[in-house]
């Protein structure tokens, strides 16, 4: 057998040999990969990015469900109120008559401080604010929030939860403590308390007495109130952009609001 035939014979064996090695290396891992895929599909353990935050599909779905349910509830209330008073939609403006002008665009980028030990739980709200051009600063504790406000000028509003973990323990009234510290430090930004329905029901009046401008568990109400507070260039509270009626006792001014 010539050398050329030997080389040709060896070359013809290389591909089967390579395939055999790959099968030996890969086949034992195939059941594990398939099992992982099946588990991921079953548990929806995939992740998505929302506003720069990585959430599981289940977490993102739950946040979206909460917002859709809240919006549906508000729409039902508005429709019921319109049915009771028989209010009709305003007619369109006659030809040649200008429509009322909307709010003047803000001259600078509004800044909001969001205080929460688990901001990822509100990723959709944070993403919406950032999409609206609002700069959102994050603080995970009362002490961190006070540090941010002492170093950063021009914060137009503060959003805080009521209970959160601080210094290794859960403090159910951390939001109220923040309100007191803001008052003592003469920080006059409006504060919006955003918490669970149960916490809002228990602590609404205490938060209002401590100086909160809004106390709510509704993402629709929160975003509407923030739009109203940030609408004017001087930071004065305005009507919510969505036209949602404020709850009784909400929107109480804390102190004269400092120009942004």
Instruction: Write out pLDDT tens, residues 169-188.
Output: 999 999 999 999 999 999 99
Q: Which of 76-85, 101-110, 249-258 has the lowest mean pLDDT?
A: 249-258
Residues of each domain in the chain carrying CATH 3.40.50.2300: 111-231
pLDDT for 204-259, tens place per residue? 999 999 999 999 999 999 999 999 999 865 444 443 333 344 444 444 444 444 43
DSSP 3-state assignment of 131? helix
**Pairwise CA distance, residues 119 & 123, whole Å:** 7
**Pairwise CA distance, residues 211 & 190, whole Å:** 8
Q: State residue 104's pLDDT score.
A: 40
CATH superfamily, domain 111-231, is Response regulator (3.40.50.2300)
With b for 16 or more beta-carbon neighbours within 10 A and e for fewer, the 24-39 pattern comes to: eeeeeeeeeeeeeeee
Question: What are residue 194's phi and psi, to 5 degrees?
Answer: -130, 110
């Amino acid at each position: 057998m010539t050398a050329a035939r030997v080389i040709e014979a060896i070359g013809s064996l290389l591909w089967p040999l390579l395939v055999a090695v790959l099968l030996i290396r890969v086949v034992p891992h195939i059941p594990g990969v398939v099992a992982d895929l099946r588990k991921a599909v079953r548990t929806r353990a995939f992740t998505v990015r929302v506003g720069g935050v990585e959430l599981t599909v289940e977490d993102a779905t739950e946040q979206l469900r909460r917002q859709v349910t809240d919006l549906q509830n508000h729409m039902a209330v508005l429709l019921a109120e319109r049915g009771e008073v028989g209010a009709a939609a305003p007619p369109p403006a006659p030809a040649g008559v200008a429509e009322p002008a909307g709010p003047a665009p803000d001259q600078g980028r509004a800044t909001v401080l969001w205080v929460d030990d688990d901001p990822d739980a509100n990723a959709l709200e944070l993403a919406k604010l950032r999409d609206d051009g609002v700069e959102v600063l994050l603080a995970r504790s009362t002490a961190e929030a006070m540090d941010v406000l002492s170093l950063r000028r021009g914060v137009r509003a503060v959003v805080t939860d009521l209970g959160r973990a601080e210094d290794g323990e859960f403090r159910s009234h951390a939001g109220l403590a923040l309100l007191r510290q803001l008052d003592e430090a003469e920080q006059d930004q409006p504060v919006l308390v955003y918490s669970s329905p149960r916490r809002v029901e228990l602590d609404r009046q205490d938060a209002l007495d401590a100086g909160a401008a809004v106390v709510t568990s509704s993402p629709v109400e929160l975003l509407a109130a923030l739009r109203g507070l940030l609408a004017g260039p001087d930071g004065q509270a305005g009507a919510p952009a969505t036209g949602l009626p404020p709850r009784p006792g909400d929107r109480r001014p804390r102190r004269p609001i400092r120009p942004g």
